Amino acid sequence: MYAAAQDEAHDELFPFVQAPEDGVRWQAPTDVEQYLYKVTRSDDSYAYLRTLAIEGVYYPVRLDEAQAAAGDAHPMLTIETPDGRTVLQVYTPGLLPRPHPFLVYEYATLGALAQIVPGGVDVLAVNAATPCEQYFLVSDEEREVWLDLHHELFHPDELMDRVVTRRTGAPAPGPLLHGLACGAHLCFRNGDAWNTLHWHGMGYRGETERIADDWGVHSREDWISTEERLLGQDVSPWYWDFVLGARTALLRAQGGGRLDPGQWRDTVEATARARAQESGTAAGDPDFAGFVAHLRGLVGQVLRYEARFRADGLLPPDGFVRTVAAWDIGRASKMARWGRGARYATEAETHAAIERASGAAQAAYGSWEEFSAGYILGRCLHFDEEEFGPWYTTVLDAHRALTTDPDGPWRTVPFNTPAPGV
């Protein structure tokens, strides 16, 4: 089931961007389109193709046909010109239009296009009706060129772990933009523009497969449930923040200063046992005893991660993590967009979820640096098992890039953003 809100129907099936006046430099949505504009003006079609081979493109498909297509089928929406030629329109990501309830876009590499474009297509129109449009005749020889360029230039890992910022078409400063910035860790990892609101992601099929495989989301109902749990910070284990909260309470009670780890462990255990007694759990229950031992061990795990965080500059010399809420909030920001890309979420629902992520982040933290440290600790507790391997090092790279890139979210979006109507 998908969200096809009739009131979201609109005429923006394909992008239309007015060419700039003579002598005026066009401001493209992203660096990719800016470069394509440059090579278009110099009539360098081969350089244009090489860029497509690196980045890939998106092609339009009717939603009902995309949903009905088998895994090896690739339906495409083509148009017929007055002179009888068949044209396939494709676009680079920065120029994709606002999502439509009945039309979607699929992602393809240039090499994949060489194999899946139907034989009856005569022209490949790239970024048509924009200042960086380019047209290629489709022939067997041209397809061979596409395949050769794909094999030479397409390296998916090089599209990841980078800060990408839209220069046009992003929301104005406010809760929506702030909420998008909350998902910046994942945008960096996936190589997505962090401030893209009109989300297409990896294309319709890629987005549905992503959240099905990684999250078990197969329907609109699944998406609503998962998004609500993330926004409620109910996906991560509750006892992570229970342990962190015990430390915060102890420090508040003693007026700050250094905290004895043994006292922290004892407080965690005593509080857990008191709550268990209130709920009727037997003190000698072996499962409960094992859980208490795990909570005590979690204290040491947190301390060791925080020591590494300080050494790597994630935390100041005396800093610590008060909550891992960011781990769910950051993923909620992206789940809102993933649900939109999969057409499980309406535009209004997506916007509302992103704004709620913004509010939750500001309620839990005081800065992007604090938010990031909480996100990273949650990710490490979930995946890393104190190996300090890729689950840690890749997100450390993201933190460093996002806190230093002058165009990135955490250098351009103030952490404290007024709520709507304030």
> Tens digit of pLDDT for each residue in 195-241?
999 999 999 999 999 999 999 999 999 999 999 999 999 999 999 99
Of the listed ranges 5-19, 299-313, 350-364, the least confidently predicted one is 5-19
Question: Quick one: average pLDDT of 121-148?
Answer: 98
Please indicate, yes or no, whether residues 231 and 254 belong to a single structural domain of this protein: no
Average pLDDT over all residues of the chain = 95
Please indicate, yes or no, whether residues 231 and 247 belong to a single structural domain of this protein: no
Q: Is 129 in contact with 64 (CB distance < 8 Å)?
A: no
Please indicate, yes or no, whether residues 190 and 82 belong to a single structural domain of this protein: no
Do the domain assignments include residue 303? no
Question: Quick one: average pLDDT of 163-190?
Answer: 97
For the cut 80, the answer to whether the pLDDT of residue 419 exceeds it is: no
Domain containing 257 equals 238-297
Please indicate, yes or no, whether residues 260 and 373 belong to a single structural domain of this protein: no
Which pLDDT band, with edges at 50, 70 and 90, does 5 fall under? low
- 2 or 26, greater pLDDT: 26
Please indicate, yes or no, whether residues 29 and 123 belong to a single structural domain of this protein: yes
Which pLDDT band, with edges at 50, 70 and 90, does 256 fall under? confident
For the cut 70, the answer to whether the pLDDT of residue 6 exceeds it is: no
Q: What was the pLDDT predicted at 1?
A: 53
Q: Is 205 in contact with 341 (CB distance < 8 Å)?
A: no
Select from 297, 316, 335 the last residue of a domain. Answer: 297
Q: What's the domain count of the chain?
A: 3
Do the domain assignments include residue 308? no
Distance CA 419, CA 352 (A): 12
Give the pairing type, strands 123-126 and 86-90.
parallel
Do the domain assignments include residue 312? no
- 74 or 1, greater pLDDT: 74
Q: What was the pLDDT predicted at 161?
A: 97
Select from 113, 128, 159 the last residue of a domain. Answer: 159
Please indicate, yes or no, whether residues 118 and 106 belong to a single structural domain of this protein: yes
Please indicate, yes or no, whether residues 36 and 115 belong to a single structural domain of this protein: yes
Residues 6+ apart with CB under 8 A from 154: 53, 54, 56, 109, 110, 111
Residues 6+ apart with CB under 8 A from 38: none
Do the domain assignments include residue 311? no
Q: What was the pLDDT predicted at 3?
A: 62
Q: What was the pLDDT predicted at 162?
A: 97
Do the domain assignments include residue 309? no
Do the domain assignments include residue 307? no
Do the domain assignments include residue 329? yes
Please indicate, yes or no, whether residues 196 and 104 belong to a single structural domain of this protein: no
Q: What was the pLDDT predicted at 71?
A: 85
Distance CA 264, CA 269 (A): 9
Please indicate, yes or no, whether residues 243 and 280 belong to a single structural domain of this protein: yes
User: Which tokens belong to 307?
Assistant: 């020591």
Please indicate, yes or no, whether residues 82 and 150 belong to a single structural domain of this protein: yes
Please indicate, yes or no, whether residues 129 and 276 belong to a single structural domain of this protein: no
Q: What was the pLDDT predicted at 9?
A: 81
Of the listed ranges 5-9, 305-309, 380-384, the least confidently predicted one is 5-9
Q: What is the pTM of this model?
A: 0.95
Which pLDDT band, with edges at 50, 70 and 90, does 277 fall under? confident
In the chain, the percentage of residues whose pLDDT exceeds 90 is 89
Do the domain assignments include residue 314? no
Instruction: Considering only CA atoms, give the Rg of the chain.
Output: 25
Question: Quick one: average pLDDT of 35-59?
Answer: 97
Select from 261, 277, 297 the last residue of a domain. Answer: 297
For the cut 60, the answer to whether the pLDDT of residue 21 exceeds it is: yes
Instruction: Tell me the pLDDT tens digit for each residue of 283-306.
Output: 678 889 999 999 999 999 999 999
Q: What was the pLDDT predicted at 80?
A: 96
Question: What number of other Cβ atoms are within 10 A of residue 372's Cβ?
Answer: 26
Distance CA 246, CA 294 (A): 15
Please indicate, yes or no, whether residues 232 and 242 belong to a single structural domain of this protein: no
